[in-house]
């Protein structure tokens, strides 16, 4: 049985990757429709290696014949159009922040809490978590299942693609401009400071307690996805990397867990690949994870400064597993377990 898919935001980084992944994974689709703003109507976007799709306009599109919507147009657009698509009978899997903390909307990472998809009928909407949260909870899940996690302290090193295509252009233009002796202000549009050859400890807006919204998201989303008792303190940093988020994760476990047992648990978990060799090049960096589906864990070691402490390095392609792939995987579980 094939399903009619609509990809909203099809001209953006994530939308294009969703189309590529749908083609790669041979998802059971009768039709795939690319949708974006009216300004993009008629543009052709690739679907797999050989086909192209002509973009339709979101403002005038009728979702009446669509089964599943994979949506990544930005929170403001999703706020308006996702409920309309859901009311027309489509199931919306939304990649924006708009519905993540809605108690009636499941927030899902298939390797972690696929069972939450069962609650999709409340609003016909399923939310995709934040990119930095996704890769972290994939790694936290097997540890929490085994011994329980009390507290997490995470420092992120997030690539500019997390802020969109224009942010990637900004890094490229600033880097080129430095060698061409052009002022950095000429290319400053997305970030509060120059991103080329720099790091910026500021992602999303500031909140009253001094955290940024990105840091808040990692805390509340982890609680909703895994366990509300887990405390998370996040420090989120934008770095001059095009694709791939990296995270140093330090966990305080509820019971002792040796390095050997932790490595075995992580290595056996779905969606995780452990590359942890205590030698030069024995770890994965964002450069190696770009274009890959897995979440990679390296540098696993016990933290002897606290009781039951463990730390590890986590990297993943934020456009694929951190957004597009996770969205498609949710649709696959939805089809296999609830629609077939």
SS3 16: helix
pLDDT band at residue 340 under the 50/70/90 scheme: confident
198 exposed, middle or buried (CB, 10 Å; 0-12, 13-18, 19+)?
middle
SS3 283: coil
**Residue 148 token pair:** 């329980």
**Mean pLDDT within 310-337:** 98
At residue 1, does pLDDT exceed 70? no
CATH class label, 132-318: alpha beta
Nearest to 154 by CA among 134, 129, 172, 173: 134
The pLDDT value recorded for residue 183 is 86
Ramachandran angles phi, psi of 67, nearest 5°: -90, -45
Q: DSSP code of 304?
A: T
SS3 208: coil
Q: Output the CATH code of domain 3-128+323-339.
A: 3.40.50.720
At residue 339, does pLDDT exceed 90? yes
The pLDDT value recorded for residue 184 is 79
As beta bridge partners, residue 251 has 152, 310
Ranges 55-59, 135-139, 178-182: which has the least confidence: 178-182
Nearest to 316 by CA among 279, 259, 263, 275: 275
Q: What percent of the chain has pLDDT over 90?
A: 96
Q: DSSP code of 71?
A: E
pLDDT band at residue 148 under the 50/70/90 scheme: very high
Ramachandran angles phi, psi of 12, nearest 5°: -85, 175
**Mean pLDDT within 185-214:** 96
Question: What's the rounded Cα separation, in Å, for the pair 315 and 174?
Answer: 25
Question: What's the rounded Cα separation, in Å, for the pair 14 and 320?
Answer: 8
282 exposed, middle or buried (CB, 10 Å; 0-12, 13-18, 19+)?
exposed
- Strand duo 309-316 + 245-253: pairing: antiparallel
Question: Where, residue-wise, is CATH 3.30.360.10 in the chain?
Answer: 132-318
Question: What's the rounded Cα separation, in Å, for the pair 6 and 18?
Answer: 11
Q: Would you say how long the chain is, in residues? A: 340
**Residue 240 token pair:** 């001059």
Which whole-number Å values give the CA distances from 158 to 35, 192, 237, 242, in the listed order?
28, 15, 6, 9
Render 212-280 in DSSP notation, one character per residue: BHHHHHHHHHHHHHT-TT-EEEEEEEE-S-SS-EEEEEEEEESS---HHHHHHHHHHSTTEEE---SST
Q: How confident is the model over 262-312, as pLDDT tens digits? A: 999 999 999 999 999 999 999 999 999 999 999 999 999 999 999 999 999
Question: What's the rounded Cα separation, in Å, for the pair 231 and 226?
Answer: 11
| Catalytic residue set | 131, 245
As beta bridge partners, residue 248 has 155, 313
Q: Are 245 and 162 in contact (CB under 8 A)?
A: yes
pLDDT band at residue 73 under the 50/70/90 scheme: very high
Residues sharing a CB contact under 8 Å with residue 218, sequence separation 6 or more, in sequence order: 130, 132, 133, 136, 154, 156, 232, 234, 236
**Mean pLDDT within 314-319:** 98
pLDDT band at residue 167 under the 50/70/90 scheme: very high
Question: What's the rounded Cα separation, in Å, for the pair 116 and 110?
Answer: 9
Q: Are 101 and 130 in contact (CB under 8 A)?
A: no
Question: Where, residue-wise, is CATH 3.40.50.720 in the chain?
Answer: 3-128+323-339
Q: How confident is the model over 7-21, as pLDDT tens digits? A: 999 999 999 999 999
Q: What is the mean pLDDT of the chain?
A: 97
At residue 201, does pLDDT exceed 70? yes
Q: How confident is the model over 211-261, as pLDDT tens digits? A: 999 999 999 999 999 999 999 999 999 999 999 999 999 999 999 999 999
């Amino acid at each position: 049985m094939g399903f009619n898919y609509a990809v909203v935001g099809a001209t953006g980084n994530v939308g294009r990757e969703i189309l590529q992944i749908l083609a790669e994974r041979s998802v059971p689709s009768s039709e795939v429709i690319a949708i974006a703003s009216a300004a993009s109507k008629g543009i052709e976007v690739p679907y797999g290696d050989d086909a192209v799709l002509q973009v339709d306009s979101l403002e005038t599109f009728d979702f009446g014949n669509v089964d599943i919507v994979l949506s990544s147009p930005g929170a403001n657009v999703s706020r308006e159009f996702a409920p309309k698509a859901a009311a027309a009978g489509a199931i919306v899997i939304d990649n924006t922040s708009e519905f993540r903390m809605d108690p009636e909307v499941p927030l899902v990472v298939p390797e972690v809490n696929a069972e939450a998809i069962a609650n999709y009928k409340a609003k016909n909407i399923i939310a995709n978590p934040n990119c930095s949260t996704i890769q972290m909870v994939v790694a936290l899940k097997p540890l929490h299942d085994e011994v329980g996690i009390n507290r997490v302290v995470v420092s992120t090193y997030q690539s500019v693609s997390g802020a969109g295509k224009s942010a990637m252009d900004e890094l490229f233009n600033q880097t080129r401009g430095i060698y061409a002796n052009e002022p950095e202000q000429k290319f400053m549009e997305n970030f509060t400071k120059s991103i080329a050859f720099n790091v910026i400890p500021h992602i999303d807006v500031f909140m009253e307690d001094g955290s940024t919204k990105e840091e808040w998201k990692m805390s509340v989303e982890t609680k909703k996805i895994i366990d509300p008792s887990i405390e998370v303190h996040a420090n989120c940093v934008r770095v001059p990397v095009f694709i791939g988020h990296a995270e140093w994760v330090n966990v305080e476990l509820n019971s002792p867990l040796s390095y050997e047992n932790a490595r075995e648990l992580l290595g056996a978990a779905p969606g995780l690949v452990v590359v942890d060799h205590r030698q030069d090049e024995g770890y994965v960096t964002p450069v190696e994870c770009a274009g890959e589906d897995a979440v990679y864990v390296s540098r696993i070691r016990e933290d002897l400064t606290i009781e039951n402490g463990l730390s590890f390095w986590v990297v993943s392609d934020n456009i694929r597993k951190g957004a597009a792939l996770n969205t498609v995987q949710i649709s696959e579980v939805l089809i296999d377990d609830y629609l077939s």
